[in-house]
Amino acid sequence: MHLFNTLTRHVEPFEPLEPGVVKMYACGVTVYDYSHVGHARNYIAWDTLRRYLLWRGYRVKYVQNFTDIDDKIIRRSHQENVPWNVITETYIQAYLDDMDRLNIRRADVYPKATEVVPQIVQFIQSLIDRGYAYESGGDVYYAVEKFPTYGKLSGRKLDQMEAGASGRVDEEAVKKHHPLDFALWKAAKPGEPEWESPWGQGRPGWHIECSVMVREELGDSIDIHTGGQDLIFPHHENEIAQSEAALAKPLSRFWLHNGFVNISGEKMSKSLGNFTTIRQMLESGFDPMVLRLFVLQAQYRKPIDFTDEAIASAQNAWDTLRDGLRFGQKHGKALGYTDIENASFGDPAAMRISTDSDAVLRFQAAMDDDLNTPVALSVLFELAKELQKEGNRLTHDGKTLAEPGTLREQWQTLVVLAEVLGLTAQPAAEAATAGLRDADIEALVQQRAEAKKAKNWAEGDRIRDELKAQGITLIDKPGGITEWIRS
């Protein structure tokens, strides 16, 4: 397996520090708002990497943090007149809900910055003791000039960066020894959350939080550190400077960064106001798998354009894959199955496929090539289209050209490889009702009750039939009470 390492700017063979074990860290979201499609791309990419490593037989410990103290969180708290920790807990849960719907597996651990403040204080003190940091007016700054290789991840030279930062004069700049020195600890301001430290009340800076959470959860050195391209500088550059100065060990063997999601040629971001949230998409009726497939149709390092045409193309592509994935449920007997009602039927974990088949070898070769998901998907489409042809023959002629064993192997291979990419299709009967949330059903039941009260029987029947068509059965009980069940 080969991966592009941002640190060396080369595709390199992947070997973990400990044979068979991968320690992997992904920079998480700052929880002050709903996550957008750019975030979806980020975490789908690393979920896919994690799934593939697991499929290849590695044991993976995957850690993803939450930044739950930050200027943006404090600003949102003041704007809404809501405690900052209520803001963070609200958007942590919203994030987890969005990721669940995209079939992104939960991390093994989700550390929060506020849970490790004592360790952050100790880490900062060790940097001061080693001469890499200094206190100034209640703040603590990292002295970039003390770290000779500062800029090695981003490829930037300190003198060039200093020239770009010259001329900036504000309260913080006056406290610094060098224009690019960055805050490890910020002195408390009125109305902000604060913690105790040797330098007075305050709160940690953003960059130090990840250095400490990586060490607390995964140790001094890890195998893979991931994030979006916008984190290369300054966030990941600063993480390296902090951790390697304090611990005298490489922070991460590999640094992986995903490309942007662009709108009209510009990066999708909250700062530009050109973002679409994940839940806006999904609540408007998009199948989560369409969004996941949209992301996977581009290699993770390449930019992708978020357009109506691109989403429509992903929808068409998903229709093909979904039909192939459902082939077993629809034509189980033609595959030689006798018990398609079994609970494990269609479960990838229960399937055993040939690992040396042409499809599997081509899929693995693509994924080993720096996670080339577009080529890997082409293998899945070939399998799905072949199953579509056989499904059409079964529907019209009652028989197939292929033997049941061959069809079964094709279908199971498709299901297993799709699962590696996180692509799953509900059986048609379940999917019919999946789009209706409980709240949607209750609203329609209430509309029907009002129609019946107004003696608009036709409207009442129409709503009942509409729900029935989507797998919802209404049960009218005495006293005007209506209960419902999903068929």
Interatomic CA distance for residues 474 and 444, integer angstroms? 11
Give the distance from CA 486 to its chain's centroid.
30
For position 333, what pLDDT does the model report? 76
pLDDT (mean) for 318-330: 92
Name residue, tokens 């009260």. Answer: 453
Greater pLDDT, 482 or 170: 482
Question: pLDDT: is 389 or 251 the higher one?
Answer: 251
The rounded distance, in Å, linking the Cα atoms of 111 and 217 is 8
Residue 72 has pLDDT above 50, yes or no: yes
Instruction: pLDDT band for 166, please (50, 70, 90 cuts).
Output: very low
Mean pLDDT, the chain, rounded, equals 90
3-class DSSP state of 230: helix
208 vs 263, higher pLDDT: 208
As a whole number of angstroms, the distance between CA 95 and CA 349 comes to: 27
Q: Minimal CA–CA distance to 32: which of 82, 99, 97?
A: 82
| Alpha-carbon gap, residue 330 to 323, rounded angstroms | 9
Q: Distance (Å, rounded) from C-alpha 282 to C-alpha 311?
A: 12
Write the pLDDT tens digit of every residue in 104-158: 999 999 999 999 999 999 999 999 999 999 999 999 999 999 999 999 999 999 8
Q: What is the pLDDT of residue 165?
A: 52
pTM for the complete prediction? 0.85
pLDDT per residue as tens digits for the range 191-230: 899 999 999 999 999 999 999 999 999 999 999 999 999 9
Q: Is 353 helix (H, G, I), strand (E, B) or coil?
A: coil
Neighbours of 429 (CB within 10 A): 11
The whole-angstrom distance between residue 22's C-alpha and the CA centroid of its chain comes to 18
CB within 8 A of 358, min separation 6: which ones? none
Rounded Cα gap, residues 13 and 265, in angstroms: 33
What was the pLDDT predicted at 294? 97
Per the DSSP assignment, residues forming a β-bridge with 332 are none
- In tens, the pLDDT along 343-388 reads 677 889 888 899 999 999 999 999 999 999 999 999 999 999 999 8
pLDDT in tens, 434-473: 556 666 788 888 889 888 888 888 888 888 888 877 778 7
Quote the DSSP letter at residue 104: P
Give me the DSSP letters along 443-464: HHHHHHHHHHHTT-HHHHHHHH
**Is 436 in contact with 470 (CB distance < 8 Å)?**
yes
116 and 212 Cβ atoms separated by less than 8 Å: yes
